Amino acid sequence: MSDGTRRRLGRYDAKEVGLATLFLAPSLAVFVVFFYIPFFRLLQWGTYKSVRGGESYKQVGLDQYREVLGGDEFRQGLIHSVQYVLLTVPAGLVLGTLLAVAAHRRLKGIKVYQAIFSSTLASSVAVSSVIFFFLFNPAIGTFQVNWRSDPDMALFAAALPFIWQNLGLAFVIVLAGLQAVPDEVLEAATLDGYGPWRRLTRITLPLISPVLMFLLVILVIVAFQAFPQIEIITNGGPAGASETLVFKIFRQSQDYGKGAVLSVGLFFATMVITFLQFVILDRRVHYGDE
Amino acid sequence: MASVTFDAVTKRYGDVVAVDSLDLEIVDGEFMVLLGPSGCGKTTALRMIAGLEDISDGTLRIGDRVVNDVDPARRDISMVFQSYALYPHMTVQRNIESPLLARHYHLDGPDQPARKLTSAERAERVAEAARVLDLEPYLKRKPAALSGGQRQRVALARAFVGRPQAFLMDEPLSNLDAKLRAQTRIELVDLHRRVGTTVVYVTHDQVEAMTMATRVAVMSMGKLQQVGTPQDVYAKPINTFVAQFIGTPPMNCVDAAIAADGTAVDLGAAGRLPLPAGLQARPAAGAPVVLGVRPEHLTLDPAGSLTAVVRAVEWLGHECLIAADLDDRLVTLRQAGMAILEPGAEVKVAVDAADVHLFDAETTERLT
């Protein structure tokens, strides 16, 4: 905050402060009740250790945090989560962008294609996962492959419905970005001798980089938290080969304390990765007002 | 440098005809202004020269070459857009350099194959363009850090740097404030004089057309109305559209009739005016006509042949505009200084016969 802003804030009178508080109160109440209180309760839960399979709990302070976050289970879950992100996000980003570029033109009936491409966004996660489950069924599927029981392919099989489903999201967001690129700038590039590929890579993509950055962050967070696809396609198997961090948390239904610690671990992992994306990529993003 | 020739060029969008069989020759090195209200087809005509719009019919030539199907980047033209269309993520330097990076140029004579510029040649061209347009201090900045006028100069520099055969400009001054616009008009004319390149300039602002053009092409509803020097178009408008589009305030065009004896224009109770010299054919007695007189040619004169009733007086400082009725026909008179007149006052108005324009009441075409 600059000095100027601070001085201005000091000048608000009691009536203005009261009014501002009144306007902020509803959203603040929602945040406190549904986010801050549950989050602090979660942190607290992590300090209780389950005794005899959840019969009772005893307070162990930060010991359980040290134990769980330093243990193999957390590490393995984190590795699987990162693998899942790497399998889904780049593919979704690239395919979504290509589809949006292909559908961003003035053609008769293009709206129909745009509606089709974005429709995956409106389908249910469970339904799309079940469709993929049957597509890859070794006995009755269209592609009779046994990826679900192959430890090297299980996570990939669970990644496919995610990619398919979020293609619609990526498409809609990138298309909105493309529509904001002024025609005149692209025409100027055409006159400057830029061919279609050069226009895309030198002009269009840099101009929509804030949108791509937003999409990347969102997709990474959503992929980190993906659950139904894994649950339906592989159920974490075979032998835990596709158990991501979220799936490991789900497994702790008998041990709330450990589940809470893993959840806190997931929260901070997501935060660190998002922060890193901003630090590494933000310099390459062009925002209009720079 | 090159001429640009439209030969019966038509542009249709479905059933809508945006440009209707345009015949126009833009001479090598001239500053041609395409002037008209929005929707008249002037921008479409310009975009066809650029290659940004396909041509539905007719032939377009740049120099001797038919360019109907030539790629925009190979037409050897450059364009300044209304929004300037600068690349916001690139520095001023990169923006100016941009056409030199991708395009091929005939640098070693017209018989040698076209090639790209070397980095030394590019640097030299950018430096020259930046110097000519006074952009040297801003080369490392991005467009967002520039004022409107500076951005406009970057767009001009980008157009200038490739030394094209023709500059196309699409209302480049419309985003500038009035003061900067007046200044830039002078700079553009000066730039044109120095480089001598053909300029095709689109505007709806008749002041820009009058002040900058070598010749003006006035368009309306997709059709070319009149081509000529600004002086010609002002002094001898070919129809009532051109008469009223050029000049501020516009030419007074009022319904009148040829007097019964066939020697004067009859304005009813307001009086009569002598017929102008040079009538192509003497209109029949009693025929309806449109009388056109520019506001500065209606003068307050006690010996004048017309009687007008004052409605209002607008004082603009150096001059005043008097709104008055000539037997219920509202006209505007322009007088130097301030006329002290009360609304409702009756005044005598004189017009020199040489300043009377007559148009056909039906076709609106000029009769003189």
Residue B237 and residue B325 in one domain: no
Chain A contact for B105 (CB, 8 A cutoff): no
Contact A255, A50 (CB under 8 A): yes
The distance of A281 to chain B (nearest Cα, Å) reads 15
Distance, in Å, from the CA atom of A79 to the CA atom of A72, rounded to the nearest integer, reads 10
Residue B203 and residue B336 in one domain: no
Q: Which among B79, B82, B86 has the least Cβ separation from residue A191?
A: B79
Residue B195 and residue B62 in one domain: yes
Task: Inform me whether the pLDDT recorded for A7 exceeds 70.
Answer: no
Residue B211 and residue B122 in one domain: yes
Is B72 in contact with A191 (Cβ distance < 8 A)? Answer: yes
Residue B107 and residue B75 in one domain: yes
In order of A5, A10, A14, A33, B106, the CA distances from A19 in angstroms are 19, 15, 9, 22, 69
Per DSSP, B259 falls in state -
**Which of A192, A199, A213, A283 to mutate to probe the B interface, most B CBs <10 Å?**
A192
Q: In what order do the strands lie in the sheet with B346-350?
A: B299-300, B346-350, B306-315, B319-326, B329-336
Q: What pLDDT band is residue B157 in, cutting at 50, 70 and 90?
A: very high
Q: Which among B88, B99, B102 has the least Cβ separation from residue A288?
A: B88
Domain boundary residue among B243, B265, B296?
A: B243
CATH number at residue B94: 3.40.50.300
Contacts of residue B83 in chain A, CB cutoff 8 Å? 182, 184
Task: Return residue ranges of chain A for CATH 1.10.3720.10.
Answer: 66-284
Pairing outcome for strands B166-170 and B77-80: parallel
Residue A234: its pLDDT value, please?
85
Distance, in Å, from the CA atom of A47 to the CA atom of A41, rounded to the nearest integer, reads 10
The distance of B218 to chain A (nearest Cα, Å) reads 25
Task: Inform me whether the pLDDT recorded for A278 exceeds 60.
Answer: yes
Tell me if B368 is assigned to some domain: no
Contacts of residue A209 in chain B, CB cutoff 8 Å? 89
Residue B265 and residue B188 in one domain: no
What are the pLDDT digits (tens) for B259-308? 888 888 888 888 888 888 777 777 788 889 999 999 999 999 999 899 99
Tell me if B328 is assigned to some domain: yes
Residue B12 and residue B64 in one domain: yes
Residue A257: its pLDDT value, please?
86
Mean pLDDT of the residues in chain B: 91
Q: Which among A184, A190, A288 has the least Cβ separation from residue B73?
A: A190
Average pLDDT of the segment spanning A119-134: 87
Tell me if B80 is assigned to some domain: yes
Average pLDDT of the segment spanning B91-115: 85
Distance, in Å, from the CA atom of B289 to the CA atom of B366, rounded to the nearest integer, reads 10
What is the C-alpha end-to-end distance of chain A, expressed in Å? 19
CATH number at residue B291: 2.40.50.140
Mean pLDDT of the residues in chain A: 86
Q: What pLDDT band is residue B1 in, cutting at 50, 70 and 90?
A: low
Residue B239 and residue B257 in one domain: no
A154 phi/psi in degrees, rounded to 5: -60, -45
Q: What pLDDT band is residue B155 in, cutting at 50, 70 and 90?
A: very high
Contact B210, B234 (CB under 8 A): yes
Q: How many domains does chain B have?
A: 2
> For residues A173 and A118, which has the higher predicted lDDT (pLDDT)?
A173
- A56 in helix, strand or coil? strand
Domain boundary residue among B210, B225, B243?
A: B243
Contacts of residue B50 in chain A, CB cutoff 8 Å? 187, 191
Average pLDDT of the segment spanning B91-102: 91
Contact B257, B289 (CB under 8 A): yes
Domain boundary residue among B177, B209, B243?
A: B243
Residue B204 and residue B261 in one domain: no
Neighbours of A68 (CB within 10 A): 23
Task: Inform me whether the pLDDT recorded for A51 exceeds 90.
Answer: no
pTM: 0.80
Topology (CATH) of A66-284 = MetI-like fold (1.10.3720)
Provide the domain limits for residue B185: 4-243
Is B88 in contact with A190 (Cβ distance < 8 A)? Answer: no
Average pLDDT of the segment spanning A209-233: 90
Residue B218 and residue B163 in one domain: yes
Tell me if B365 is assigned to some domain: no
Residue A9: its pLDDT value, please?
56
Residue B291 and residue B270 in one domain: yes
Task: Inform me whether the pLDDT recorded for A289 exceeds 60.
Answer: no
Task: Inform me whether the pLDDT recorded for B234 exceeds 90.
Answer: yes
Q: Which amino acid is at B36?
A: G
In order of A142, A183, B309, the CA distances from B144 in angstroms are 54, 18, 55
Residue B213 and residue B296 in one domain: no
